[in-house]
Amino acid sequence: MTTTTEHGLASGPTPRLSAGLPAVRTNRRRFSWNTALRVILLLIAAALTLGPVLWTLSTSLRSPSESFKLPPSFIPWNPDFTSYGQVFQQLNIFLLVLNSALVTGLIAVGQMVSAALAGYAFAHLKFRGRGALFSIVLATMMVPVQVTIVPVFMLIRGMGLSDTLLALILPAIPTAFGTFLMRQYFLGLPTELAEAASIDGASPWRTFRSVYAPLAMPGMAIVGILAFNFHWNEFFRPLILTISEQNFTLPLGLVSLQGNLGTGSISVVLAGVVLSMIPALVVFMFGQRALQAGLTAGTGK
Amino acid sequence: MSTTIPPQERPRQAARPDRPTPARNRKTGTGRHSQRWLAWVFLAPTILGMGLFTLIPIVASVVLAFFRWDIISAPSFVGFNNFAEVVQDPTVRVSFLNTIVFVVVAVALQLGLALALAIMVQEKMPAWLRVFFRSAFFFPLILSAASVSIFMRYLFNEQFGVVNWLLSLVGIPAVPWLTTPGGSAAVVILVYVWQNFGFSFLLFIGGLASIPVETYEAASIDGATGWRKHLHVTLPLLSPTTLVASVMAIISALQVFDQPYVLTRGGPGDSTRTAVMVIFESAFQRLEFGQASAIGVLLTLIIMAITAAQFRLSKRFVFYQ
């Protein structure tokens, strides 16, 4: 943490501030001091935010015997991949990744399709009870998953799906928030498109399939990215709905690995944590804007 | 049609008045029908899924709260007994109290931190630096709470943890973070805020961007500077965002589970046990599904009451432009 801050101060904004602000006015100098103080505080906050993640990465690249050692490392100078080998031995990580990918992928695709269809119906199709039905869909967002988990667990048992991946997938596909997002998205597209299509003799289905659905891809991508981020990281439902280790998802497997090892070899557990972060990192790098747009959608902005 | 039109042009002419007729038919008659039909087909996956996995479970949860049921034997109706037992149960009481303390402290920290950082980031600085800060504060949101709690447990280790090592550098003796009630509660709060302040930060950034620059210009002409400017201009104009951010932060903090479960399993004693952990334990460890549902119903009522109260308060204190 300290290293990051010092590093940031030394090479970061300070030279830029002095270079970027020629002494045109007398109060410019005082202003730049304010800016410097502000940037220092922000750098400290950023170091505290990123520090733990950097420590996780560099500790996972220490050899298991050195992972306890203080001072801690924040930058992996001599990467040692022993822990990554060991995490593959101690944990059936292929299976965990496969389970997580299957569950997350199918939920994401299921949400994208079902939310696009329902969102389109609420936005552009006329039917009796549309407003009331949409209000009910929105109202379900207020009920926390923990409150419905007991009956969902019973239902899954009754359907003969307990301790299967489908138990995780099926209940997560209907999405109130995704439907809301897609409705907003379709409402943002001009209605003239539908009119033009119907004058050309297109059926309502063709209007959706050939005119609106292709235009809705960016909205569907937001729904998919949100679903991916949420369900890849999900812990509560898998903890309850899966029993045998062969159906565990990554977060569950990692927590049980830490439990088994106690404080044994930090670096092995952390290697698993780092591996589980990779897909999230990819989303962060390529879908950050979509993710931010989706997370803050419907908050009055 | 008219006989003056040459025969080769007739089909084209005739096609024009003919064409709109089927389209008009679709619009008025079959069009409506097929639209309605299509609407229900499109809604089917969402409505059926929600009915099965959300609406029925909500009703079932409320009904189940009045029964005693352990899955094995038949459920028996017990009236309000579950609620009476739950309200008197010391573990449940402590857990609800813990949850309330957690919500108050964590949400205050989260909103305060997010607002301060958002204001600092929005002021003048190089664009690349602003992008860096925004990404950095957003970053923890993409991680799983379970993974975060796993590495934070090591960081807060009393003997080998980085946090105590850093504190030792400034001469503070080792803090028994995860072995004392106070320390554990602090760790759960810190880890939760670390991961979630970025969400409030995003909301505040959006809210700040919607405040017109002219307002600040007017304020500086009136002589307001620095913190006074923020106190008298930013805070009132930001109050709609603050309301949304606090409602969302409170609702999600009330449901905290992953962090205390992985970090402390609710201990030491019951010091970090939360409301949702008690639902989990009474249902899936003690098989008291009726009691678990009763606790769930209570938690939902609290969430609804807080949401309602906040929107009522907002009418008095929130300033809409």
Whether B210 is covered by a domain: the verdict is yes
CA distance A168 to B253: 23
Q: What mean pLDDT comes out for the span B156-179?
A: 88
The helix (run of H) or strand (run of E) holding residue B68 is strand B67-68
Residue predicted with more confidence, B284 or A82: B284
Residue predicted with more confidence, A190 or B199: B199
Whether B76 is covered by a domain: the verdict is no
Structure confidence at residue A11 (pLDDT): 36
Q: What is the pTM of this model?
A: 0.83
Whether B6 is covered by a domain: the verdict is no
Pull the structure tokens for residue A190: 């001009």
Q: Does B290 have pLDDT greater than 80?
A: yes
Q: Does B270 have pLDDT greater than 70?
A: yes
Among the listed ranges A21-25, A26-30, B155-159, which one has the minimum average pLDDT value? Answer: A21-25
Residue A282: HSE in the Cβ half-sphere, 13 Å Cα cutoff: 7
The β-bridge partners of B77 are: B67
**B251 and B311 assigned to the same domain:** yes
**B163 and B284 assigned to the same domain:** yes
CATH of the domain at B281: 1.10.3720.10
Whether B13 is covered by a domain: the verdict is no
**B225 and B109 assigned to the same domain:** yes
**B88 and B237 assigned to the same domain:** yes
Residue predicted with more confidence, A31 or B20: A31
C-alpha torsion A169→A172→A175→A178, nearest 10: -70
**B35 and B60 assigned to the same domain:** yes
Q: Does A21 have pLDDT greater than 50?
A: no
Alpha carbon of residue B123 to chain centroid = 28
Alpha carbon of residue B91 to chain centroid = 26
**B51 and B89 assigned to the same domain:** no
**B43 and B123 assigned to the same domain:** no
Chain pair A-B, CB pairs under 8 angstroms: 295
Q: Cβ contact (<8 Å) for B133 and A42?
A: yes
* Window 182-211 of B, Cβ < 8 Å to A: 194, 198-199, 202-203, 206-207, 210
**B138 and B57 assigned to the same domain:** no
Q: What is the DSSP letter of A210?
A: I
Q: What mean pLDDT comes out for the span A14-35?
A: 49
Of B38, B117, B194, the CB nearest to A204: B38
The number of distinct structural domains making up chain B is 2
**B45 and B149 assigned to the same domain:** no
Q: Is B142 on the interface with A (CB under 8 A)?
A: yes
B84-137 pLDDT tens trace: 888 899 999 999 999 999 999 999 999 999 999 999 998 878 888 988 999 999
Structure confidence at residue B108 (pLDDT): 96
Q: pLDDT above 70 covers what percent of chain A?
A: 87
Whether B278 is covered by a domain: the verdict is yes
**Residues on chain B touching A140 (C-beta within 8 angstroms):** 50, 54-55, 58
Amino acid identity, residue A109? V
Whether B309 is covered by a domain: the verdict is yes
Q: Cβ contact (<8 Å) for A13 and B244?
A: no
**B45 and B128 assigned to the same domain:** no
Domain boundary among the residues B37, B64, B91 is at: B64
Nearest-neighbour CA in chain B from A299: distance (Å): 7
Band (B28; pLDDT cuts 50, 70, 90): very low
Band (A25; pLDDT cuts 50, 70, 90): very low
What is the phi-psi region of residue A166: left when phi exceeds 0, alpha when psi lies from -120 to 50, beta otherwise? Answer: alpha
Nearest Cα residue to B151 out of A42, A67, A238 = A67
User: Rounded to whole angstroms, what are the CA distances from B193 to B60, B137, B264?
Assistant: 34, 11, 16
Whether B156 is covered by a domain: the verdict is yes
Structural domain that includes position B45: 29-64
Whether B211 is covered by a domain: the verdict is yes
Structure confidence at residue B235 (pLDDT): 83
Band (A113; pLDDT cuts 50, 70, 90): very high
Tell me if A58 sits within 8 A of A75, measured CB to CB: yes
**B106 and B57 assigned to the same domain:** no
**Closest chain A CA to residue B48:** A174
Q: What is the DSSP letter of B157?
A: -
The helix (run of H) or strand (run of E) holding residue B67 is strand B67-68
**B250 and B197 assigned to the same domain:** yes
